[in-house]
Structure 1
Amino acid sequence: MTNSIKTAIIACSTLLVLSACTQRVSNSEQRQQASNPASEYCIEQGGTTQMFEEAGKQVGYCNLPDGRMVDQWELYYREVGGQGES
Structure 2
Amino acid sequence: MKRVCLFLSVALAGCATEQDPPVKTTLANPAAVWCVQQGGTREPVQSPQGVKTQCRFSDGQTIDEWELWRRDHASAR
What TM-score do you get using the length of structure 1 for normalisation? 0.52
Q: Report the number of matched residues.
A: 58
User: Where in structure 2 are there 5+ consecutive unaligned residues?
Assistant: 1-22
The structure with the larger Rg is 2
Contact 1:49 1:63 in 2 (8 A): yes
What is the Cα-based RMSD across aligned positions, in Å?
Answer: 2.4
What TM-score do you get using the length of structure 2 for normalisation? 0.57
Which aligned segments of 4 or more residues in structure 1 are displaced greater than 3 angstroms?
A: none
Post-superposition Cα deviations, 1:5-62, rounded to whole Å, max 9, x if no partner, equal: xxxxxxxxxxxxxxxxxxxxx76xx66xx33111110000011001122114120100
For the structure 1 residues 64 and 82, does the alpha-carbon distance in structure 2 shift closer, same or farther, using more than 3 Å as the test?
A: farther
User: Where in structure 1 are there 5+ consecutive unaligned residues?
Assistant: 1-25
How high is the sequence identity, in percent, across the aligned residues? Answer: 29
SS in 2 for 1:49: strand
Q: Which residue of 1 aligns with 2:64?
A: 71
For the structure 1 residues 50 and 35, does the alpha-carbon distance in structure 2 shift closer, same or farther, using more than 3 Å as the test?
A: farther
